[in-house]
Amino acid sequence: MTTKVAVIGSGNIGTDLMIKVLRLSGTLEIAAMAGIDPASDGLARARRLKVATTHEGVDGLVGLDEFADVSIVFDATSAGAHRRHDEVLRALGRTVVDLTPAAVGPYVVPPVNGDAHLDAGNVNMVTCGGQATIPVVAAVASVTPVHYGEIVASISSRSAGPGTRANIDEFTETTSSAIERVGGATRGKAIIVLNPAEPPLIMRDTVHCLVGDCDDAAVTASVEEMVARVQAYVPGYRLKQKVQFDRVAGDDPLRSLLPPGSRQGSAAKVSVFLEVEGAAHYLPAYAGNLDIMTSAALRTAERMAAHRAAEVASR
């Protein structure tokens, strides 16, 4: 038995997500797509694929006959719009998977805490940079405390649509918070770079973790195992080179980021360099930043649906 879902947002992310549900999921069934631009390519594609549509946003969605059977709604709009969407949908008993940086619900990064919030009414997928880098921070933190975690997400400017550009501040704030709350770093910082290069470059991510004394081999093994877990649902996710370790000298300014009681001991900077190539279901392959978001959202909704089906079966 499949779980019916709907998508709000007929832009790049929402359309790619719709196509992923249709092509990849054996447990989710796309019932409807809502947008606000009647001329959008997303709504046109949905109609051609026999998916119910509306260009009247969330209000139009809840008015569709097909909405009656929908259990989970993906929101691929904007942080500002999401807050109202959440109010409307949760009042109607629907679960919301939020692909905006609104962070109304708890953060979910599938290979790190994918089973922690299966009963939540709203879950937040952090950001593209968060989905790509927080698994690595968590992998390092599972071996040794991470006192400071900094990530730099570099994406093609072509893959940064209006929603991404309008939410840059929310991106940095939400990602920084999730580096701490999900990744396990004491302090987190996030930076996004929109790269105008032509031809467009695929997503590149750099992760720096400041730690105390550490076992290099154990950290490397943990990172490589985590990369393999992400690759299970994002095949284009990969390490660009070996994990790097730089010992932090006594006069290095980085030591100011260590806890006061640790500044005299050993310290190291762990650097991990990643590349994310998209699956090109709807978006071009260089848009790995969008692909990892839709892939993570799909994985999360499938887990939630399976969990709820198991609960019903056990009654």
Percent of the chain with pLDDT over 70: 100
Give catalytic status of residue 214 as yes or no.
no
pLDDT category of residue 208 using cuts at 50, 70 and 90: very high
> pTM, whole model, 2 decimals?
0.95
Domains and CATH numbers, the chain: 3-125+292-314 (3.40.50.720), 128-287 (3.30.360.10)
Residue 37 has pLDDT above 80, yes or no: yes
pLDDT digits (tens, 9 = 90+) for 242-260: 999 999 988 888 888 888 8
Q: Which two tokens stand for residue 119?
A: 């009963």
Least confident of 35-49, 138-152, 166-180, 294-308: 166-180
Distance CA 42, CA 282 (A): 10
* pLDDT at residue number 253: 86
Q: Does the annotation flag 200 for ligand binding?
A: no
Phi, psi (deg, nearest 5) at residue 274: -120, 160
* pLDDT at residue number 19: 98
Residue 112 has pLDDT above 80, yes or no: yes
Distances (CA, A) of 158 to 161, 164, 200: 7, 11, 7
Q: Does the annotation flag 142 for ligand binding?
A: no
* pLDDT at residue number 172: 93
Average pLDDT of the residues in 265-275: 95
Point out the catalytic residue in the list 46, 128, 203, 301.
128
* pLDDT at residue number 250: 81
Q: Does the annotation flag 164 for ligand binding?
A: yes
